[in-house]
Structure 1
Amino acid sequence: MSNRAPNQARVIPLRPPAERPAPERSAAPRDPLWRDLVGDVLRRERQAQERTLKDVADEARISMPYLSEVERGRKEASSEVLAAAAHALGLSLGDLLARAQGELVRLDSRRPGRSRTTTTSSYDGLCLAA
């Protein structure tokens, strides 16, 4: 007879436990996402104007929860939504995107081993295609 308690079952594994690979400690930092950059710019501008989410969302005619998600980088907002939010803050869509690009350049220049490539073009701007 067994010396186990009568209500305990014996578990027999069907496969040996899988070994998990050790997490990489020297993983390269990921590139910032565009939605995070745009959301940060919207939030900083709204807070600089001391305005509430509700106020800006109402003026932009978008829902307050959706604007919050955009500001936190949780949603990829359409160009119409971004333009509406920017205009509610007194910015053009170009202003919003230029500020986000400036933030991207600033963050990218801080990363070790990254350098801006030089081009022969005199245009140093941002181009988005839909």
Structure 2
Amino acid sequence: MIPLRPAPARPAPPESGPGESKEIKEPLWRDLIGEVLRHERRAQDRTLKDVADAARISLPYLSEIERGRKEASSEVLAAAAQALGLGLGDLLSLAHGELTRRTAAYRRPATAPYRSYDGLCLAA
């Protein structure tokens, strides 16, 4: 007997076990911003209380921002940056630099390598 319909293709088994991902995830923006704020504050030998008071935000909230637990509004980030003598653009630029540094090792090339196309082109 010959089947009229081909058997459905079986899915390929996963190459990695459950929970294992070969894809490297980029860091969260709030983590980068928090790390930059903490680095700048420590570089100036300032306390959380000092910066929180200057920025007019609560000390626990600033601590949570630095630890990447909270996503602060642009107003809060601008106030924290200003308290550290930075502009909002400076803060974002420093965070972007850190993101670039961390992801450079596994980033895809900007352009795909050249491959010939052996397809058929039809004109209308």
TM-score (norm 2): 0.71
Q: What percent identity do the matched residue pairs reach?
A: 68
**1:23 positional shift:** 3.6
For structure 1, the 5+ residue unaligned runs are 1-21, 119-130
Opposite residue 100 of structure 2, the aligned amino acid is V
In structure 2, C-alpha distance between the alignment counterparts of 1:24 and 1:75, rounded to whole Å: 26
- Is the 1:39–1:73 Cα contact (8 Å) retained in structure 2? yes
Tell me which residue corresponds to 2:73.
78
1:1-130 matched pairs, under 5 angstroms = 23-111=18-106, 114-117=107-110
In structure 1, C-alpha distance between the alignment counterparts of 2:23 and 2:46, rounded to whole Å: 37
In structure 2, C-alpha distance between the alignment counterparts of 1:108 and 1:116, rounded to whole Å: 12
**1:25 positional shift:** 3.4
**1:99 positional shift:** 0.4
Stretches (4+) displaced over 6 A? none
Identify which of structures 1 and 2 has the higher relative contact order when contacts are C-alpha pairs closer than 8 Å and 6+ apart.
Answer: 2
TM-score (norm 1): 0.68
Aligned-residue RMSD, C-alpha:
1.5
Name the count of aligned residue pairs.
95
**2:104 match: secondary structure:** helix
**Residues 106 and 116 of structure 1, relative CA distance in 2, 3 Å threshold:** farther
- Is the 1:109–1:116 Cα contact (8 Å) retained in structure 2? no
